[in-house]
Structure 1
Amino acid sequence: MDVRKKYNVTHSYTVQPVTLADGHLLDKFLLILQEKENEFGKRVEKKLIVPSNVVVRASKSGKSSGEKHHVFLNELLRPLVGRRFLLFLDSWKTQADLTKFRAVFPNQDSQLLIFPEGSTGHIQPQDLSLFRSW
């Protein structure tokens, strides 16, 4: 790994938890780990211990992508929300697509609100509390 490039040391994984409106964290979260390919090797897959409250995926960068965001919406969020809910997300292009959101939640009376670009470090609840301590 070339550590002269900042992204090589700052994005080896992504943690995507969900905070409820009352400030509590959902029991389940998405964890994306950096791997050379977009999947885990056989050895890693064999030894990887994944708790039932964690959805784990691999990516070359350790960052989320459109595919990983779909996993977040479909496998993590969909089973946990009711018919009506409000979802706040960062302004990343992979997350801000209303069409993809509606594809996973076609019949819910739900809303998707996007934090304005550049504001998440100031107003996003997880950046102000949970991630700050990390």
Structure 2
Amino acid sequence: MPIINMLGELVGPVFICLQEPKGRLGPRIQKSIYEAKNVHVTCSKFGKLTKSHIHYWAEEVLRPLVSDNCLLLLDSWSGQTDPNIYNEIFTGNIKCELLQIPPKTTGDIQPLDRYFFRQWKYFKQRICDRLAIDEIDIDITTRNNILKMHSLIHKQLTARKFSSMIKYSWYSSGYLLNDPGPFEN
């Protein structure tokens, strides 16, 4: 779960939820798990986020990134739309206002879904294709290689070169009035 802003930046670490049989990483796995500053890892039994994961994300990933009042755009999934989650975390001088995308409109007006994830998936596919074409003996489905791949994609998309592309995600969703202009992917 990456975070993008309207300035055309990919901010903070990507939040990844791994599927683990017991819903948590065992002590042996915790010692060997790949760690990167741009990846924040959690897990669940089915690899799906729950309301408690969203609370954890808001507290551990989102809150440290916010130094001023913010507007958080959320899709309609009920696990992340509870205002109490954010009210508990954003206290004092910093406020977080929530704006919820109506159900069944996420693909039309959610910037990540509208354009950004297309680029993320393109990078992912290119990595997988290179491994296959060059017959590189790397199992991309292992826990650590998944994390390494997403860390690499995140790092690439933080480059200034992709700023207009990220702004375009907002523009194509109807949140920015001015087209950021031509850009290279």
Q: Is the TM value for this pair above 0.5?
A: yes
- Hey, which of these two has a bigger chunk of strand by percent? 1
| 2:67 is equivalent to residue 82 of structure 1 | yes
Question: Aligned to 1:83, what secondary structure does the other structure show?
Answer: coil
Deviation digits for residues 38-71 of structure 1 (CA, Å, limit 9, x no counterpart): 1013343232112022110010121111111011
| 2:56 is equivalent to residue 101 of structure 1 | no
**Closer, same or farther in 2 for the Cα pair 1:43/1:21, shift >3 Å?**
same
Q: Could you tell me how far apart the structure 1 residues matched to 2:69 and 2:12 are?
A: 20
Matched residue count? 119
Question: Aligned to 2:85, what secondary structure does the other structure show?
Answer: helix
Q: 2:106 aligns with which of 91, 114, 120?
A: 120
TM (normalized to structure 2)? 0.60
Q: Could you tell me how far apart the structure 2 residues matched to 1:81 and 1:36 are?
A: 34
Q: Could you tell me how far apart the structure 1 residues matched to 2:43 and 2:96 are?
A: 29
TM (normalized to structure 1)? 0.81
Question: Aligned to 2:61, what secondary structure does the other structure show?
Answer: helix
Q: CA deviation at 1:132?
A: 2.3
Question: Aligned to 1:56, what secondary structure does the other structure show?
Answer: strand
Please identify the structure whose Cα radius of gyration is greater.
Answer: 2
CA contact (8 A) 2:83 2:98 kept: yes
Q: CA deviation at 1:106?
A: 2.1
Q: RMSD of the TM alignment (CA)?
A: 1.4
Larger relative contact order (Cα-Cα within 8 Å, sequence gap ≥ 6):
2
Unaligned runs of 5+ in 2: 122-185
Q: Could you tell me how far apart the structure 2 residues matched to 1:70 and 1:76 are?
A: 10
**What is the correspondence of 1:44-55 to structure 2 with a 5 Å cutoff?**
44-55=29-40
Alignment partner, residue 2 of structure 2: 17
Question: Aligned to 2:80, what secondary structure does the other structure show?
Answer: coil
Unaligned runs of 5+ in 1: 1-15
- Hey, which of these two has a bigger chunk of helix by percent? 2
**Closer, same or farther in 2 for the Cα pair 1:32/1:86, shift >3 Å?**
same
Q: Could you tell me how far apart the structure 2 residues matched to 1:23 and 1:94 are?
A: 27
State the percentage of identical aligned residues: 36
CA contact (8 A) 2:17 2:42 kept: yes
Q: Could you tell me how far apart the structure 2 residues matched to 1:118 and 1:61 are?
A: 24
| 2:28 is equivalent to residue 39 of structure 1 | no
